[in-house]
Amino acid sequence: MIGANTVLLDHFDDPRRAGAFPADRPGIRRGEAGSRHHGAVVRFELLVAQDGKIEDCRFKAWGCAGTIACASLVAEWLPGRTLDEIRVADVRSLTGVLELPVERAYAPLVVEDAIRAAAEEGS
Amino acid sequence: MDEPIYLDYMATTPVDPRVAEAMARYLTRDGGFGNPASDTHVYGHRARAAVDDARAQVAALIGADPREIVWTSGATEANNLAIKGTAWFHKDRGRHIVTSRTEHKAVIDPCRWLERNGWRVTWLTPGPDGRVTPADIATALEPDTVLVSVMHVNNEIGVVNDIDAIGSLCRGHGCLFHVDGAQSAGKVAIDLKRSAVDLMSFSAHKVYGPKGAGALFVRREPRARIEALIHGGGHEGGLRSGTLATHQVVGMGKAFEVAMNEFDSEHARILMLRDRFRAALSGLEGVHLNGSATERVVGNLNLSFEGVHGDALLTALRGLAVSTGSACSSASGAPSYVLRALGRDDALAGASVRFSFGRWTDEAEIDRAAEQVIDAVTRLRGISPLWVGAA
């Protein structure tokens, strides 16, 4: 992305909690959002503790550099949050943090849809 | 941070120092600053002689008569002059034009403008190898076709069209044949004495010459009749008025002379570099070459990478100066219309990179570039939910 800011490049070059948990690991909620057609696909996995708080998470993202950076920032924020918090999470402010141009404003929304889908899974 | 490795020679090239040195002699008071059209004094004569020399240098590379060279501000203007000039001159004879969907915008947009003004245009879709076939042209020709315009080398995927065969068809049909040669001069042998091409556009800055200089070849025998677009003084045989930019013209001439003298050695060296780059990437699965593997210029590799997003790939490759699509249209962010015309789906077309190699590319750059591509693609696939191995 031309003119990407330092926060974006930091999270794009070194995404936090990128990857996936082992498929057979119990207590994982998974959610996915976006489509190839729309230019971004984000998948989140949440490891939820007994008390309903997020203990850890992983993500995979296919999309512009801004989408990957958004997912990484959200992955950094998630641990310690409750499922209820995630269900109402509004991460649109990341557009400002990452200084995304208007045509990339979809990036936080896809990430938001992915974590909400994961929070809803199995509930 | 080090400067990115420049692998975008099809977007533009640095001016060769030999060219810059030649140009500098035609700017200042102690040089050939005169107006080439001033025939009453030595200042004008000196500039005129330099323009004549440059005309001969350009003509020599393409097998033309120097009198067939019309200077323009670049290939875009040359394309406009060829297409709109032909359409206007022959408007009472016919109003049908044949071209392809993978032409440069400098051909597509003048054709669209003519469409809006009452001409009919047949837009051919190239085959999966990116080439326009003579058979497609033959099918598209109509009794009132006045012009066929097909590029010699595609600016995005580097494939080479068979302009000799297409030219013969057009000659037989009695319509003019225009070729956008901006990407082929100096890279593919051109002999306009032999090829039935009537009009051919050239650019200086793709051949290590200056930006803002170009030329249109206008055949004298049989004569290609076109109307001028710019009037005012009758320069260039009435086809392009305006005081000639002596230094620009001299630069283009010198650039074409160097390209001719070093054609064989450059060709062999760049072919070796391209093959080295391709071989270095051979361990990476899910990589597709766009366009014909054989009928292509040596300095271009356009590759699509499965499982990665185009924007993310370019961001990861910011140590390389490369482009997706052509430089002129990648600012729009839209998937390449050329790759889409070849049938690539949007996601794969978006993850395509044009690597183009040139005079100052060396083995060390190729090796470093290949390493960066492998690292970037591997890393992005590692976090891509769409990557499950090559399709």
Predicted-complex ipTM score: 0.94
Return the pLDDT at B328: 38
Record: contact A18-B383, CB cut-off 8 A: yes
Return the pLDDT at B1: 60
- Which residues on chain B are in Cβ contact (under 8 Å) with A4? 315
Residues 34-93 of A with CB under 8 A from B: 36-37, 39-43, 59-65, 67-68
Order the strands of the B287-289 sheet from edge to edge: B287-289, B300-305, B352-356
User: How many C-beta neighbours within 10 Å does residue B337 have?
Assistant: 18
Residue B341 has pLDDT above 90, yes or no: no
Dihedral angle, C-alpha A51, A52, A55, A56, nearest 10 °:
170
Strands B96-100 and A54-62: unpaired
Mean pLDDT of chain B: 94
User: How many C-beta neighbours within 10 Å does residue B343 have?
Assistant: 12
Residue in B closest to A16 by C-alpha:
B383
User: How many C-beta neighbours within 10 Å does residue B49 have?
Assistant: 12
Residue in A closest to B315 by C-alpha:
A1
Q: Work out the average pLDDT over A97-114.
A: 90
- The CA distance from A102 to A119, in Å, is 28
Question: What does the pLDDT look like over B71-103, one tens digit per residue?
Answer: 999 999 999 999 999 999 999 999 999 999 999
Stretch among A57-66, A84-93, B343-352 having the lowest mean pLDDT: B343-352
Buried b (16+ CB within 10 A) or exposed e, B180-216: bbbbbbbbbebebeebbbbbbbbbbbbbbbbbbbbbb
Question: What does the pLDDT look like over B103-145, one tens digit per residue?
Answer: 999 999 999 999 999 999 999 999 999 999 999 999 999 999 9
Model confidence at B366, pLDDT cuts 50, 70, 90, reads very high
Return the pLDDT at B347: 66
User: How many C-beta neighbours within 10 Å does residue A38 have?
Assistant: 11
Tell whether B376 is within 8 A of chain A (Cβ).
no
Min Cα distance A97 → chain B (Å) is 18
Give residue B84's Cα distance to chain centre. 19
Residue A71 has pLDDT above 90, yes or no: yes
Residue B55 has pLDDT above 80, yes or no: yes
Residue in A closest to B381 by C-alpha:
A62
Return the pLDDT at A97: 87
Record: contact A61-B316, CB cut-off 8 A: no
Residue in B closest to A63 by C-alpha:
B309
Question: What does the pLDDT look like over A8-60, one tens digit per residue?
Answer: 999 999 999 999 999 999 889 999 999 988 889 999 999 999 888 999 999 99
Record: contact A36-B315, CB cut-off 8 A: no
Return the pLDDT at B334: 57
Q: Work out the average pLDDT over A70-98.
A: 91
Residue B331 has pLDDT above 90, yes or no: no
Tell me which H or E stretch contains A37. none
Record: contact A18-B382, CB cut-off 8 A: yes
Question: What does the pLDDT look like over A38-47, one tens digit per residue?
Answer: 889 999 999 9
Return the pLDDT at B95: 98
Do A111 and A92 form a contact (C-beta atoms < 8 A)?
Answer: no
Return the pLDDT at B325: 53
Record: contact A61-B314, CB cut-off 8 A: no
| A8, A82, B196 from A74: Cα distances, Å | 12, 14, 62
Residue B254 has pLDDT above 90, yes or no: yes
B160 Cβ contact partners less than 8 Å away, ≥ 6 residues apart: B131, B152, B153, B184, B188, B292, B295, B296, B297
Min Cα distance A27 → chain B (Å) is 20
Q: Which residue has the tokens 């850890």?
A: A56
Residues 7-26 of A with CB under 8 A from B: 9, 12-13, 15, 18-19
Question: With pLDDT > 70 as the criterion, what percentage of chain B qualifies?
Answer: 95
- The CA distance from B118 to B327, in Å, is 31
Min Cα distance B308 → chain A (Å) is 7
Return the pLDDT at B291: 93
Return the pLDDT at A36: 87
Return the pLDDT at B349: 67
Residue B330 has pLDDT above 60, yes or no: no
- Which residues on chain B are in Cβ contact (under 8 Å) with A15? 383
Question: With pLDDT > 70 as the criterion, what percentage of chain A qualifies?
Answer: 97
Return the pLDDT at A90: 86
Q: Work out the average pLDDT over B309-331.
A: 77
Model confidence at B326, pLDDT cuts 50, 70, 90, reads very low
Phi, psi at residue B206, to the nearest 5°?
-85, -5
- The CA distance from B7 to B372, in Å, is 13
Q: Which of B333, B350, B383 sits opposite A60 (nearest CB)?
A: B383
Q: Work out the average pLDDT over B362-366.
A: 98
- Which residues on chain B are in Cβ contact (under 8 Å) with A60? 383-385
Do B114 and B229 form a contact (C-beta atoms < 8 A)?
Answer: no
Test mutation, B308, B314, B315, chain A, max A CBs within 10 A: B315
Residue B68 has pLDDT above 80, yes or no: yes
Record: contact A12-B383, CB cut-off 8 A: no
- The CA distance from B80 to B96, in Å, is 16
Tokens of residue B219, six digits = 């055949």
Min Cα distance B378 → chain A (Å) is 13
Test mutation, B383, B384, B387, B388, chain A, max A CBs within 10 A: B383
Test mutation, A62, A98, A99, chain B, max B CBs within 10 A: A62
Q: Work out the average pLDDT over B153-160.
A: 96
Question: With pLDDT > 90 as the criterion, what percentage of chain B qualifies?
Answer: 89
Return the pLDDT at B123: 97
Record: contact B312-A63, CB cut-off 8 A: yes
Do B278 and B367 form a contact (C-beta atoms < 8 A)?
Answer: no
Test mutation, B1, B306, B308, B309, chain A, max A CBs within 10 A: B309
Return the pLDDT at B289: 94
Tell whether B391 is within 8 A of chain A (Cβ).
no
Return the pLDDT at A114: 96
Residue in A closest to B331 by C-alpha:
A2
B259 Cβ contact partners less than 8 Å away, ≥ 6 residues apart: B61, B185, B186, B207, B208, B266
pTM: 0.92
Q: Which residues of B are catalytic?
A: 328
Question: With pLDDT > 90 as the criterion, what percentage of chain A qualifies?
Answer: 70
